[in-house]
Every structure is written in C-alpha cells, then in structure tokens.
Amino acid sequence: MSIGPVSFLPFNHDDAREKINDEKICQFLKKYFQSYVDICLEEVNTVTLVFNGELDFIPSDQNRSVIRKSVDALIFNAIAGTMVNAISNRSMGPPSSEAYQLYFKNFRPDDEYLGYRAGSTTHGGLRIGEVKFTKPLSTGGFFLTEDRALLDGLASLLGVPKNMEFMERIFRCLEWFRYAHADNDEVSPLSKIVMMATAFEIALDVPEKERNKQKFIAEYIERLIYCCDLSKSERCLGKTNVVHTNVGWWARDFYTLRNGIVHGDKVEEINIQYDETNINWMDHLIMADLMLYYCIKKLLLYNTAWGESRRARLRETQRTQFPDWEGYVKVMEDVPNGPNRTFRDLGWLARPEIRNTPGPDVNQKIRDILDSLKK
C-alpha cells in the first residue's frame, strides 16, 4: 500500500525482492531482519520496508520527515478507524501505536557489524545475530480498518501541500495521537487524556489567547460533526443556561477533565469513564478517538487536502444530485463509516428510527459520487 509518495512493502513479499534489484543488499536485509523476533525469540514476518519515492536506500532528513508523517497517518487510520467499527463490534480491538514502530538504519552490505540507537545513546560493536530486537508486548489488537478516503486525504497533504500551515498542523496533531496510543504501562490513562486534548487543540487551531477554550472547542466540534438529528440538552453553567448537542457536551466534559489533570486536581483513572452513552464500557479516551476521527475527515474535506478541482466537483454534485443540502448531509453522513451510525450506537440520535443505513440504491449513488471525485 502507499500513502502519497510513501510506500509500505512487507519484506517477505516477492515484490520487495524485485524492487531492491541488488542481490547483495537483499541478502544483507534478509540476514539483518532475522534479528527481529517475538517474545519467544521466533523470527517475525511482519517487518515492512517504508520508502519515499524509489527504493534507493539513500538517507535524507526530508525522507525521514515524510516517512514519519506517513506512518503517523497509518497509525491514525488503523486505531481510530478500527475503533469506529469496534463500537458496533467490541471484539474488534484496535492495535496500539507500538505495533507500528519506525526504525531508521544506515548500513553497508559488506559490513557484518550492527549499530543501533536507543534514546540518546548509540550502541555498536555487535555483529548481526548477536543482538535481538523484540516485538513489543503491547501491540494491541490485530484488526485493521483501511479508510481509503481518509488515507487519500492525508496523502494529498504529503504530496503537494497547498497550505503548509494546515499540513503541519494536521500531522502535529497525529503525532500527539501516536503518543497517546502507546499501550505500555509507563503512560497512564490520565496522561493520555492530556495528550489527546493537545491533539484536538492543534487540529482545531485553538487561538492561544482564547479565554473560553471549552466553549470554543465544543462549538467547533459541533459544527464539524454535523447531524440534524442529534439530541440536545440544556445545562446551567454559572449563571447562564447553555444548550449543546451530545457532541458539544462531551467536548466540554472532556476538556473539564483535561483541566483538572493539568492543574493538579484530584483526578483518578475511574474519572475517565463516560456514562452519557448506551455503551457501558465507554470512556473519554475512546470518545476522543471517535470525535477526532470525524473531525480530521471533515477538516480534510473543508480545506485543500483533495484540491480545489475535486472540491468544485463535489459542490457541483451537491447542486445537481442533492439540491437540498440537508438531504445531502443526511445521505453522506449515514454511509457505513459516517458518524450517524456511531451516534446511533451511542444512543445520541433524537429520532433513531429514521436513521437507518441507506439501501442499495443510495449506496450505489454514493459510490458513483466518490468515484467521480477520484477522476
């Protein structure tokens, strides 16, 4: 598979051997990758080559940056995309970010010695085979959802970005998402809440001098993840009665929790549970995955990720096939990976009986629209 200019190629695949085209390098890599083992010291077969452009093994800082961003895009798709499906099927546990550890290594095919860097320390003097790199224990689940539309949107940012500030902001957000989804015991759930809140602040470009960030974030997310059938409720905040949808109230509750953590209030891990849904195992971290997934998809659509020509065709499609904008939103949001299915599972729709998945004819129309936008 590929994400923009970056390709992912399992080394055990025949295509990898064909692309390398150098038997000396191929034999070196085969010997080197035998150093990667599982916890039983058995060789793993999931080592994947990641390369930008041609598979020429030429190191550069630009290659490293683009490859890092593409892996972060893959991590976001794998975790958040799978989590969306897991709401309907709890057995579909997503992987952790540690399942996609990225290593950069320089080598000479005629050198049998191995050097590696761990943290700020470089180690050397060992021959290949004398040191083993073990697969992390906390790689999470093994289900993987591929949302091609999401990956295409992120890939277009990596390809020829028209808005560098937007591109850097989105991938900085995904970097914090990766940090928040390390599954080892060194990172507490409370720390992950702060990391995910940081990811939202970056993605939504929250103004530094914004005095009421809770309100800003709640209203911004509500606008991005629009659904005309979301339930609304009123709460009294201070001396003011405030109305939000379930999405907006979650955002306020999430940011309140984040503030309590960073300001040193007494917050325990039990406080990350979120009880405002139909799902008894729901917590704020899972909710943050779902909401960020839909926010990123909408930000990609509303900005330049797919290019002006594609967005112009989208507008024309809306005008000709769905003159009623609200009707268009209902149809497009109700596709299998759209938010309405998630909202229905959460119990957030005011009229769940009319929010069924579109029938075959509507699904075909959606596929035709998406196919036309790819041209």
**Does one domain contain both 124 and 152?**
no
**Does one domain contain both 70 and 162?**
no
Higher pLDDT, 175 or 57: 175
1-5, 106-110, 233-237, 350-354, range with the lowest pLDDT: 350-354
Sign of CA dihedral 259, 262, 267, 270: positive
The whole-number average pLDDT for the span 178-184 is 90
Question: In this structure, are residues 84 and 337 in contact, taking their beta carbons and an 8 Å threshold?
Answer: yes
Q: pLDDT for 96-112, tens place per residue?
A: 898 888 887 777 888 88
- pLDDT of 196 strictly over 90: yes
Question: In this structure, are residues 16 and 49 in contact, taking their beta carbons and an 8 Å threshold?
Answer: yes
Higher pLDDT, 37 or 117: 37
How far is the C-alpha of 55 from the C-alpha of 16, rounded, in Å? 9
**Does one domain contain both 280 and 199?**
yes
Question: Tokens in use for 300?
Answer: 């990609």
Q: What is the pTM of this model?
A: 0.81
Residue 204: which of 77, 67, 309, 298 has the closest Cα? Answer: 298
- pLDDT of 360 strictly over 50: no
User: Within 10 Å of residue 139's Cβ, how many Cβ atoms?
Assistant: 17
Instruction: Determine the structural domain holding residue 360 and report its residue range.
Output: 148-374
Residue 110's pLDDT is 81
**Does one domain contain both 109 and 162?**
no
- pLDDT of 181 strictly over 70: yes
Question: Tokens in use for 267?
Answer: 């917050």
Question: In this structure, are residues 190 and 284 in contact, taking their beta carbons and an 8 Å threshold?
Answer: no
The whole-number average pLDDT for the span 21-41 is 85
User: Within 10 Å of residue 86's Cβ, how many Cβ atoms?
Assistant: 19
- pLDDT of 333 strictly over 50: no
338 — pLDDT class (breaks 50, 70, 90): low
Q: pLDDT for 208-260, tens place per residue?
A: 888 888 889 999 998 888 777 788 888 888 888 888 899 999 999 999 999 99
Residue 180: which of 50, 285, 23, 337 has the closest Cα? Answer: 285
The whole-number average pLDDT for the span 261-286 is 90
Assess if residue 140 is contained within a domain.
no
Higher pLDDT, 217 or 143: 217
288 — pLDDT class (breaks 50, 70, 90): very high
Domain boundary among 103, 134, 165: 134
How far is the C-alpha of 205 from the C-alpha of 217, rounded, in Å? 10
Share of the chain above pLDDT 90, in %: 22
**Does one domain contain both 208 and 101?**
no
Assess if residue 139 is contained within a domain.
no
In one letter, which amino acid is 118?
A: A
Higher pLDDT, 279 or 56: 279
Assess if residue 143 is contained within a domain.
no
- pLDDT of 54 strictly over 50: yes
**Does one domain contain both 88 and 171?**
no
320 — pLDDT class (breaks 50, 70, 90): low
**Does one domain contain both 117 and 48?**
yes
Q: pLDDT for 82-96, tens place per residue?
A: 888 888 777 777 888
**Does one domain contain both 119 and 153?**
no
Assess if residue 249 is contained within a domain.
yes
Assess if residue 312 is contained within a domain.
yes
User: Within 10 Å of residue 292's Cβ, how many Cβ atoms?
Assistant: 23
Residue 335's pLDDT is 46
Tally of structural domains, the chain: 2
Question: In this structure, are residues 79 and 96 in contact, taking their beta carbons and an 8 Å threshold?
Answer: yes
